[in-house]
Structure 1
Amino acid sequence: MQPVPISDYGFLSDCRSGALVGRDGSVDWWCPDRFDSPSVFGRLLDPEGGHWRIAPVGAGTAGHRVQRSYQPDTLVLRTVHHTPEGSVAVTDALAAEPGARTHQFGMRSPAVLLRVVEGLSGRVRMAVDFRPRPEYGLIKPYLRERDDGALVVNAGPVQLVLRCAGPRLLAEHGQVRQTFEITEGQRVGFDLAYAAAYGDPPAQLEPVGTLADTVRAWQSFRAVHHYDGRYPEVVRRSATVLTGLTYARSGAVTAAATTSLPEVIGGDRNYDYRFAWLRDFAMTLRALWVAACPDESSRLFAWAARAVGQIGTDPVPVLFGLEGERDVSEHVCPNFAGYAGSRPVHVGNDAWRQRQLDVPGEVLSAVWRLRDQLGDKFDAELRELVVGLTEQVAAAWHLPDRGIWEPRDDERHYLSSKVLCWVAMDKAVRLAPRLGERADVRRWVAVRDEIRATVLREGFHDGRGAYTGVFGSPELDAAALYLPVVGFLPADDPRMRATIAAVERELGGDGGLVRRWKEEPAGFVLCSFWLVECLALAGERDRAARLFEEVAGHANDLGLFSEQIDLKTRAHLGNTPQALSHIGLIHAAWRLTDPTAD
């Protein structure tokens, strides 16, 4: 079985969990309890991992054509199938809590997957193929029919109830495979509700009405957010994706909705991204701020402060679970074959154990951005957070670490990590008036200036004529593009200009894509948007705008980005939808709107 291209998937969200549905009408990924919970549909990672397909009989053959789009300002997906017999629409959503509006959205999501089939013309025979496989495909459940016609799935810790406001569903051998006809003007609604096996029963919702209410919930939420910069349509779409990646109960933003989609087909760099990274934190917060989502910015900051807790001598973890869990230890799912045979499939991410010196800089950048909301004098907990992180940087900045790309090999002196250490000290010095007697400004200034001098001396490789990824190494790394973005150097500094040119020349590819390093076969979407920002900061706004439009054009037909884009095939690679890719787009659009913006 050939895998569905990653770019063929649409993303559904209820701000509790995420689902992926392909152009072929199959829901191939759903972790219903929360983003990082076990899947009940996992065909994304194994042909036998479970799925739920609704599509015309003979879909994919000659004469079958698909059009799809999101309802405006939502993650409610409408797929129209045109067949020789007629046309039919399938609208998919993860249900909002009934009546939820504006910032209530996602707080009490009922964990219900809605699918509404609507006849548009003619008479079309539809096929239903329902094969739940809970616990990452480990369980083949029994399906039993209730007196009201609903199908009940009881399997281990999971209970599911599938209802259909139309044909009676018949189960056999742990699955449903049947057909029904739909004619012009007819609607048939399905709802699949999840609950824990030993908790309250799954919710019962009327599909058609709940679907309409979910559209209104999304649109009411987006209606209170206003963005006035360039490229408003793609920025609003990316902001909606970030909302969809938000775990509303805590305010954390998950890095992606999936695990183990490969950076290289057949490779082993397959990691679980269903967690919240502190590294992404300041970038995420700024993107939400730019997209005029201040309430979400504040909730994200509150989550981070609570997750970090009291600062000690141990490094702050780079990532946390969505409710602030620290231990997200990694293990392999041996029963999953992996996307296109790309093994291993991971659950959990051991990067939480790494020393990554850039993390405090991201957190203190976020504090600086929210300083006016946080007050002229910080409360005791916030003071301890800022002072504790600053002292950690002052004590450890000279050590090697694992860097922004989280390699699983030796620690090194990464340029980007040292620069973010400078950012941490610089922001701490600026925040000092709000910190009281604990602020040791004179010493902090000295450390800040020492870090800067070290980066300028050790980070530039004379033989390469550019800032490189690791002190003393000639190897280019697109992370050097971050220097102007965080304000360490102006983009028109001669050495920085030379670095930008070298990255564009040696790591760039067709379509405006930029690789992280030379051996990488795919462009990294975030780095590609960093190049846009650098060009805009260097005064090349027209060229930056053209590059922005090229890179933005690599999104799929729904405006979604994965982590990377193959330079030759343009195939999406890596986990999807990827928060950092959409964050990069928002930042670059705003930089083109106002190059002087902080």
Structure 2
Amino acid sequence: MRTAIGDYALLSDCQTAALVSKGGAIDWLCLPCFDSRAVFARVLGEDAGHWSIAPRGESAPRRSYLAGSLVLRTEYRTPAGEVAVTDALATGPNAGGHELGADAPHVLVRVLEGIRGDVEIEAEFAPRPEYGLVRQLLIPVDGGLRCHGGPHALGLSSPVPLDVSDCAHARFTVRPGERIAFALDYVLAGQTPRLRTPEETEDLLAETLGAWRGWSALHERYRGAWQDEVHHSGRVLQALTYRPSGAIVAAPTTSLPEAMGGPRNWDYRYSWVRDAAFALNALWTAACPDEAVAFFDWMAQAAAADPRAGRDLQIVFGVRGECDLTERELGHLPGWRDSSPVRIGNDAWQQRQLDVYGELLCAAHRLRAYLPRADATTLHFLASLVDTACARWKEPDEGIWEVRSGRRHFVYSKLMCWMATRCGIQMADLLGAEDRVPYWRRVGDEIRAAIEEQGWNDEVGAYTQAFGSRVLDASTLMMPLVGFAPADDPRMLATIHAIHAHLTDARGMVYRYAAMDDGLDGGEGTFLLCTFWLAGALALAGEVDEAERVFERAAATANDVGLMAEEVDTRTGELLGNFPQAFSHVGLVNAAWMISRVRSGAIGPQNVADGSAFCSD
């Protein structure tokens, strides 16, 4: 597949997502939820399914989301005239407020509108369930097609006649003022999919646009620098939320590579506990305190599901709370631009990552006003997380970057265990654990001393990736952001400057870490989240002008509809990795808030050591 990752736009009904290219092709859609088996997967293989609608011949597309929504409008200018296509995943009749997508009907809507001239359109519909393994039987009926085969039955509502072979084709003309509405309905195999009239399809589109705008009107409360970008990122995070549970997926795709040709290709259609502190902070800042509470409720319940003593806290779950995410490869798919293997599942679920104790507690701290309403079991569970962090912080783990080269004593993991003690101490009265405070404070002091002694490298002149290591790692930028040390502390400032000077590419974008054995072949691009971390750390250090320049470089990588991937190719500037990436939009929101607060004088190095930069209001 040659289409660039950045050429795609996102559609979402807050239960699943689709990717639509500038050329009008739906090349990715899993039904009925984010981690279901794909119906369209051409982004990972040419024969894995698509649905394209676009003008025949040469055309120049221009697209944007309709204001306050994730309803996409693409206008095509051709030699014969202009036509627009409006695409949406229907959110359902009771959408709006903080329940957007709760009753999503699993319908993809595509409406053409003639603007100027008579424009000839070509459409091709090729559903391929099971990631391209199944070729459905397409049955022409009045009003469209019914499609059977595999786990899905589909109903394609079409007001134009379709020629059917192993896929369906149509050529037709759209005239000025004319509207032609298509809809794709999903049901389980054995059920009869619905076919809709054009009027019903138009109603779904209008309902969905109104639902998104209703949600935005209630939730967009951030006022500050880069306000439009922050609000849009809030909508993207909402789009990546699985509404029935409140879980947020890391991205709606699998196996889009971190470097051309693979093999660093992972399935991100799951929800990481680590995302909690970052996503909750961003949701709270961008727009969405209700969504933050829903996400925390889901996360706490999923993480508390395994009570066996001594078991590592699981770090990633399915969107319904599933624990077993065993990874496997799909050998029949070549991958995006031949970047193989294509993987589904993610074996990170079996890793030990000790930082998650601090991140989950940081999320609870952000929502501490909500905790008095939490049940006693949840409060006991949170207190036990502090005890577990205190008991296990000396152990090695795979760390935030989920290395596959063996466990180490990662500085970031120790830092977040320290953060667990800080949050526990500050919430002790809410948790009914005042008697634990002396122990938590003593262990927190031990962790701090260990980081300062063993995490600092005199020869490198910076805090490094792991105890005794010489490797620079962008995760150490979190030290001032969580209040471990003021950003203008000499050691901290030296670390920020070392990363700024030696862990960035020619464009000024930040790598996750310097060259090291992480157990995987191949390289990767620069990491957008890390670049936003650098912007936030520079702002806290008082270097606000440079922080803004770093922020602008990272934000400028967004595509024409404001979406960011995980990484950026250091040679070409192309977006890389699963798309769109929640962490990148979280990074934008948190960095924008940080820079705005520092610029206004609300926070700075003098008052950040209490954690106010990251885990307070």
Offset at residue 99 of structure 1 (A): 4.8
Aligned-partner SS, 1:424: helix
Offset at residue 309 of structure 1 (A): 2.0
Offset at residue 439 of structure 1 (A): 4.3
What residue identity is the alignment partner of 2:172?
F
1:300 to 265, 270, 295: 295
2:567 to 564, 568, 578: 564
Asked if 1:513 corresponds to 2:505, the answer is no
What residue identity is the alignment partner of 2:313?
V
Aligned pair count reads 589
Alpha-carbon contact 1:133-1:140 (below 8 Å) kept: yes
Alpha-carbon contact 2:81-2:117 (below 8 Å) kept: yes
For residues 307-334 of structure 1, what are the alpha-carbon distances to aligned partners after superposition, in whole Å with 9 as ceiling and x for unaligned? 1125432111110000111111111111
In the alignment, the residues of structure 2 paired with residue 263 and residue 437 of structure 1 have an alpha-carbon distance, to the nearest angstrom, of: 44
Look up the match of 2:552: 549
Asked if 1:420 corresponds to 2:412, the answer is no
Look up the match of 2:475: 479
For residues 549-572 of structure 1, what are the alpha-carbon distances to aligned partners after superposition, in whole Å with 9 as ceiling and x for unaligned? 121111001000000011221100
Look up the match of 1:523: 526
Offset at residue 546 of structure 1 (A): 2.1
Offset at residue 181 of structure 1 (A): 0.6
> TM-score, normalized by length of structure 2?
0.93
Look up the match of 1:41: 40
Alpha-carbon contact 1:128-1:177 (below 8 Å) kept: yes
In the alignment, the residues of structure 2 paired with residue 379 and residue 234 of structure 1 have an alpha-carbon distance, to the nearest angstrom, of: 37
Offset at residue 383 of structure 1 (A): 2.1
Aligned-partner SS, 2:442: helix
Offset at residue 471 of structure 1 (A): 1.1
Offset at residue 105 of structure 1 (A): 1.5
Aligned-partner SS, 1:152: strand
Asked if 1:180 corresponds to 2:172, the answer is yes
What residue identity is the alignment partner of 2:155?
V
For residues 374-431 of structure 1, what are the alpha-carbon distances to aligned partners after superposition, in whole Å with 9 as ceiling and x for unaligned? 12x8641122211221121122110100010111221111111110010011111221
In the alignment, the residues of structure 1 paired with residue 392 and residue 194 of structure 2 have an alpha-carbon distance, to the nearest angstrom, of: 50
For residues 95-121 of structure 1, what are the alpha-carbon distances to aligned partners after superposition, in whole Å with 9 as ceiling and x for unaligned? 111252222310010110100011110
Larger deviation, residues 36-45 vs 404-413? 404-413
Alpha-carbon contact 2:156-2:195 (below 8 Å) kept: no
Alpha-carbon contact 1:387-1:439 (below 8 Å) kept: no
Asked if 1:233 corresponds to 2:228, the answer is yes
Which residues of structure 1 form unaligned runs of 5+? Answer: none
Alpha-carbon contact 2:371-2:430 (below 8 Å) kept: no
Alpha-carbon contact 2:234-2:287 (below 8 Å) kept: no
- Distance 1:437-1:251 versus aligned 2 partners, 3 A rule: closer
Larger deviation, residues 198-207 vs 233-242? 198-207
What residue identity is the alignment partner of 2:317?
F
Alpha-carbon contact 1:132-1:140 (below 8 Å) kept: yes
Asked if 1:195 corresponds to 2:187, the answer is yes
Aligned-partner SS, 1:229: coil
What residue identity is the alignment partner of 1:347?
I
Asked if 1:462 corresponds to 2:455, the answer is no
What residue identity is the alignment partner of 2:332?
N
Look up the match of 1:142: 137
For residues 489-514 of structure 1, what are the alpha-carbon distances to aligned partners after superposition, in whole Å with 9 as ceiling and x for unaligned? 11111011111111011111243311
Look up the match of 1:492: 488
Asked if 1:400 corresponds to 2:393, the answer is no
Larger deviation, residues 546-555 vs 353-362? 546-555
2:216 to 215, 222, 244: 222
Look up the match of 2:321: 324
Asked if 1:119 corresponds to 2:118, the answer is no
Asked if 1:374 corresponds to 2:368, the answer is no
Alpha-carbon contact 1:257-1:577 (below 8 Å) kept: yes
In the alignment, the residues of structure 2 paired with residue 50 and residue 478 of structure 1 have an alpha-carbon distance, to the nearest angstrom, of: 39
For residues 140-177 of structure 1, what are the alpha-carbon distances to aligned partners after superposition, in whole Å with 9 as ceiling and x for unaligned? 1110012x23201111211000011x3122311x2012
In the alignment, the residues of structure 2 paired with residue 568 and residue 362 of structure 1 have an alpha-carbon distance, to the nearest angstrom, of: 34
- Note the 1:84-103 alignment, pairs <5 A: 84-103=79-98
1:587 to 590, 597, 601: 590
What residue identity is the alignment partner of 2:184?
L
Alpha-carbon contact 2:27-2:40 (below 8 Å) kept: yes
What residue identity is the alignment partner of 2:235?
T
Look up the match of 1:66: 61
In the alignment, the residues of structure 2 paired with residue 293 and residue 586 of structure 1 have an alpha-carbon distance, to the nearest angstrom, of: 12
Look up the match of 2:254: 259
Alpha-carbon contact 1:110-1:203 (below 8 Å) kept: no
Aligned-partner SS, 1:517: coil
In the alignment, the residues of structure 2 paired with residue 383 and residue 211 of structure 1 have an alpha-carbon distance, to the nearest angstrom, of: 43
In the alignment, the residues of structure 2 paired with residue 364 and residue 103 of structure 1 have an alpha-carbon distance, to the nearest angstrom, of: 24
What residue identity is the alignment partner of 1:294?
P
> TM-score, normalized by length of structure 1?
0.96
In the alignment, the residues of structure 2 paired with residue 48 and residue 204 of structure 1 have an alpha-carbon distance, to the nearest angstrom, of: 28
In the alignment, the residues of structure 2 paired with residue 530 and residue 352 of structure 1 have an alpha-carbon distance, to the nearest angstrom, of: 25
Offset at residue 338 of structure 1 (A): 0.7
Look up the match of 2:14: 15
In the alignment, the residues of structure 2 paired with residue 180 and residue 554 of structure 1 have an alpha-carbon distance, to the nearest angstrom, of: 37
Aligned-partner SS, 2:486: coil
Look up the match of 2:428: 432
- Distance 1:447-1:203 versus aligned 2 partners, 3 A rule: farther
Look up the match of 2:340: 343
Look up the match of 1:169: 162
Aligned-partner SS, 1:52: strand
Look up the match of 2:147: 153
Look up the match of 1:80: 75
2:243 to 218, 226, 248: 248
Identity %: 46
Look up the match of 2:4: 5
- Distance 1:553-1:151 versus aligned 2 partners, 3 A rule: same
- Distance 1:594-1:438 versus aligned 2 partners, 3 A rule: closer
Alpha-carbon contact 1:258-1:575 (below 8 Å) kept: yes
- Distance 1:153-1:510 versus aligned 2 partners, 3 A rule: same
Alpha-carbon contact 2:22-2:61 (below 8 Å) kept: yes
Aligned-partner SS, 1:44: helix
- Distance 1:170-1:368 versus aligned 2 partners, 3 A rule: same
In the alignment, the residues of structure 2 paired with residue 251 and residue 19 of structure 1 have an alpha-carbon distance, to the nearest angstrom, of: 19
For residues 181-231 of structure 1, what are the alpha-carbon distances to aligned partners after superposition, in whole Å with 9 as ceiling and x for unaligned? 111111100000111114574574722221111111100001001111211
1:213 to 207, 221, 231: 207
In the alignment, the residues of structure 2 paired with residue 537 and residue 93 of structure 1 have an alpha-carbon distance, to the nearest angstrom, of: 40
Alpha-carbon contact 1:387-1:438 (below 8 Å) kept: no
Offset at residue 77 of structure 1 (A): 0.7
2:281 to 286, 295, 310: 286
In the alignment, the residues of structure 2 paired with residue 457 and residue 200 of structure 1 have an alpha-carbon distance, to the nearest angstrom, of: 66
What residue identity is the alignment partner of 2:54?
A
Offset at residue 593 of structure 1 (A): 1.3
Aligned-partner SS, 2:359: helix
Alpha-carbon contact 2:94-2:103 (below 8 Å) kept: no
In the alignment, the residues of structure 1 paired with residue 385 and residue 250 of structure 2 have an alpha-carbon distance, to the nearest angstrom, of: 23
In the alignment, the residues of structure 2 paired with residue 539 and residue 202 of structure 1 have an alpha-carbon distance, to the nearest angstrom, of: 59
